[in-house]
Structure 1
């Protein structure tokens, strides 16, 4: 219900108004239980004087019908019968004084409305500042708002035109440009359009005239992933702010999205909100293969011990290498191994090169594999797949047989047995039996889990190979006619007539292979990390007792399993990197946004044989989660 509608009149205000030399009375009835008094327009009794507070006093009618005066001005400026009061009961005949206003209290009948007769006395002396306020108001006087605005507009327009004529456009720059842009600091038109609102950003086209668009990160703002559109370049790279390096973007620009990152239909799973590295940055994550039958790749965080593992196929015991027995070291003429014996920095000193057998392992391990006890003194070459090893075994055992039976070498060429091949219908020779048996024994000793020659470091895997047809020599043509032509060509070179029919082998076969080791090139390919800079820190050298890797890779010295992922956790990094007061912990200190080049195209992770650029195209959306 609005005030005054349906409520009994509780107050009557009588004001004397002077108009054209005549004094008239104006009567105002106020309904309700409360009468507000003050300078504010919302008051029932409006006293228009700067010395009166906006909300100065109030009179309330209580349940007994009494009228209570209360000072709400936070100052003792309400007087009742010349006595300052904070709260008092009004009686007929009282005089209330508020600044230069007098309110005479009366009541026509008991229980009737309270009558307040308002009289304005002579103006009281005011402070100089208050007295000047009417003169400073822009609503009246010579300098009104409109006149002042018009004059300022003319002055600014004239100044802009004059600066343009004199070639002094830089006077309007809010700040210096960055160092890289300083060569065209006075050429505003390079970046700015001639007519454009001053509050709008510079067009991306102006930036991309020099900075090619292929530096834009493929993982950000994909149409099928991101909920927001790609922001303009200038929204992050703020020019005219006195920054020497425009790429020095503050964390605020990253956090404005990453504090509440969302993706459509959860195409990018496990998205974490990030506000600060020291507080809520998620644990580091590595890319692993998705378990069958899902295939693909997944992101696994370092604290997910159940799923985290190095799926590489190289057997390696870090603890054994770092704690070799003294007798072994003396016999080999070696010093105790440290991490740097195998893990080497790249030329820039930032990243570690992947382990290479020919460079790192041959310092201690032989480059060839001895066939003892089957054939002592004979060796097969390291690094070959099993089908090539079998060929080498055939050559070795064939040479041994010919040394013991020189008469075999004197046979005509068309009757001589060629390792790995026997003509259809031709009986097995003694040489072939010796070579086949020797190959089987050699392969058995190489792949023995007890002797551990190949299996000391490698794993084997069996794969199903689909074959429509196989000819001798490993040729896989598409038709029986192609098979016949291939064999006829091979046999004609040896002056041997082909048989009337050529057998074919159609179907699948199981092939045993040495599993590719696929040593990772980069575990965290999209981070910045400088190993050389960290190695120079005295505290790290002291803590590592000369082996400076161990203070961060603290689990390496005790690792006995090849599946262990020995990357340091984010908690370890936070012991040094924190803000304020610690080492740098900004987003840019670890992450790139623009990636103008593909990462290393060698195999990225230990469980993938596909090139890194193919793998990364599938995990780009995981880059910063």
Structure 2
């Protein structure tokens, strides 16, 4: 049936106001429960007190068992209703009115304005005592259930699991204690073997359990350096690497605050270790970069030459000077009016010499054989353009020249074999030498002349620093200073060159030259590494338009690749020494 409920209330000005509610239902329910059609609150009103339904042309009132209402002043449990009848219940008055068109029932409700606020609370069950359940019984039952399913059964499964004994699949195993899923990497590595990390029951994961698998992961500060500070023990692995916490992608805490908490005020707690304060990545919150360079240190005479050592020099970029002992001009090689590639006669680009390693961070070492030999041949006699001097072995250069000129002046068939022409540098052509004396004497004179030329005027001296000792023995006279470059100017940092090969609309050489001023460099001592001002043009620690947001761990590794920064530099230096100069002693020339 369709009913109209009109609630009458007295407004603040004393004028009666009414609020109409349309109800469409098979019957009208009355009670204190919130799901009743007509909700009335007060003492003596049950949650389901009465119901009004249509019986033919009349309305019929029926109270729930044990309940009653007052109908026209008389106590009733059931009754037939007519227009004008008044139902009273806990001070509320419901009058059956003449229904307007479109409605089959109309009821005017005049609520009891004297209802106390506590009556509203009693309309709902808010306490266990209002139900048939007892507090003490439910408490002990809950304890028993938790102990059984949360401790006893999982503990039995845990013991059986460790002993490799089968258990029923329906038993709640120790995964019942799992507060969340493992990270995908750990899940693949250990599966359901919780004891791999949780070595003891009810004990948090120890660092030793992490180090069992992560053997090559070094701590942030080695014990020897930590002893110089007042920082105390380093944080547990689980402080930053949180497991069983969703979402699973956040296994590593990458927040800058974890770094700034210590590095923001290094004067407090760092003790003897002096570091610049870092509070983010911006010109006013991050210090200028410092490059780690290699410098050659001439030692004492050793055998037929000199011994050289290499030390690491740390300098700010505006004061950094490369000491590689190489003679080279980037500006000359990138000038299309002076240098073109031999293969296609096009200008050189950065990638012709600088080739990324697979890690995308470092570049392959530049060597004579891979890069330089394509344009710079080590020929020494126009009469033998296919004959070249050995590179990197000065004593072999002397022997090669002596052997060549000895054969040239003593072999009557020398020079009859056809050789292909090779281009020569302008002004380098020389007339064919003749001999007016003994062939051997002529050969030694020509060899000595060519040796002096290679080490003092052209050839080796064009790229290398050569020391002329002025001694009579040609094998001991010239000393070539070795060339060394640091493989990584920032060994404690990371920089992905591959991701920077495209910078906005810049690609290729334009992207490289936007950071490295190679076209202005006339000397190999120029360290063309951009400073923080260049980096902050595109990066920052705060989100901004046309800026790539970076965090501390975007460039810095919490776990160093080597046991410590100092050890990393020393190891790097020793490795470079082994790669480029297996012997510390330089052969005399």
Q: Say which of 428, 452, 461 aligns to 1:455.
A: 461
Task: Supply the distance in 2 between the matched residues of 1:611 and 1:525 (Cα, whole angstroms).
Answer: 18
Q: Is 2:514 aligned against 1:551?
A: yes
Cα distance change, pair 364–220 in 1 and its aligned pair in 2 (3 A): same
CA contact (8 A) 1:380 1:393 kept: no
Cα distance change, pair 370–300 in 1 and its aligned pair in 2 (3 A): same
Segments of 5+ residues of structure 2 without an aligned counterpart are 1-115, 127-135, 157-170, 299-308, 415-436, 583-589
1:552 to partner: Cα distance: 2.0
Task: Supply the distance in 2 between the matched residues of 1:405 and 1:602 (Cα, whole angstroms).
Answer: 55
1:565 to partner: Cα distance: 0.6
Q: Residue by residue, what CA displacement relative to the aligned partner does 1:197-256 show, whole Å, maximum 9, x if unpaired?
A: 6xxx411122233x1433224854435545433332212211122253565332333333
TM-score by length of 1: 0.53
The 5 A counterparts of 1:108-507 are 157=147, 160-161=150-151, 164=154, 166-183=171-188, 187-196=193-202, 201-209=204-212, 211-217=213-219, 220-222=222-224, 223-227=226-230, 228-245=232-249, 248-251=252-255, 252-261=257-266, 266=272, 268=273, 270-278=274-282, 280-289=285-294, 296-302=311-317, 305-306=318-319, 308-325=320-337, 329=340, 334-366=345-377, 368-371=378-381, 380-403=388-411, 430-448=438-456, 451-461=457-467
Q: Say which of 486, 493, 499 aligns to 1:527.
A: 493
CA contact (8 A) 2:380 2:389 kept: no
Q: Residue by residue, what CA displacement relative to the aligned partner does 1:93-138 show, whole Å, maximum 9, x if unpaired?
A: xxxxxxxxxxxxxxxxxxxxxxxxxxxxxxxxx9979x99xxx9xx
Alignment-derived partner of residue 554 in structure 2: 589
CA contact (8 A) 1:314 1:517 kept: yes
Q: For 2:506, what is the secondary structure of its paired residue?
A: helix
The 5 A counterparts of 1:4-15 are none
Task: Supply the distance in 1 between the matched residues of 2:474 and 2:334 (Cα, whole angstroms).
Answer: 46
1:329 to partner: Cα distance: 4.0
Aligned residue pairs total 397
CA contact (8 A) 1:259 1:274 kept: yes
CA contact (8 A) 1:521 1:603 kept: no
Q: For 2:448, what is the secondary structure of its paired residue?
A: helix
Cα distance change, pair 264–547 in 1 and its aligned pair in 2 (3 A): closer
Q: For 2:326, what is the secondary structure of its paired residue?
A: coil
CA contact (8 A) 2:294 2:312 kept: yes
Q: For 2:461, what is the secondary structure of its paired residue?
A: coil
Q: Residue by residue, what CA displacement relative to the aligned partner does 1:6-48 show, whole Å, maximum 9, x if unpaired?
A: xxxxxxxxxxxxxxxxxxxxxxxxxxxxxxxxxxxxxxxxxxx
CA contact (8 A) 2:311 2:573 kept: no
Cα distance change, pair 162–333 in 1 and its aligned pair in 2 (3 A): closer
1:597 to partner: Cα distance: 7.7
Task: Supply the distance in 2 between the matched residues of 1:453 and 1:188 (Cα, whole angstroms).
Answer: 68
CA contact (8 A) 1:313 1:606 kept: no
CA contact (8 A) 1:169 1:186 kept: no
Q: For 2:511, what is the secondary structure of its paired residue?
A: coil
Q: Say which of 493, 508, 523 aligns to 1:561.
A: 523
Q: Residue by residue, what CA displacement relative to the aligned partner does 1:323-378 show, whole Å, maximum 9, x if unpaired?
A: 1317x649985111111121112245443212122121222221x23247xx8869
Name the Cα RMSD after superposition: 4.9
Q: Which runs of 4+ in 1 moved over 6 A?
A: 126-129, 146-155, 262-265, 290-295, 462-465, 596-603, 605-608
Task: Supply the distance in 2 between the matched residues of 1:239 and 1:331 (Cα, whole angstroms).
Answer: 58
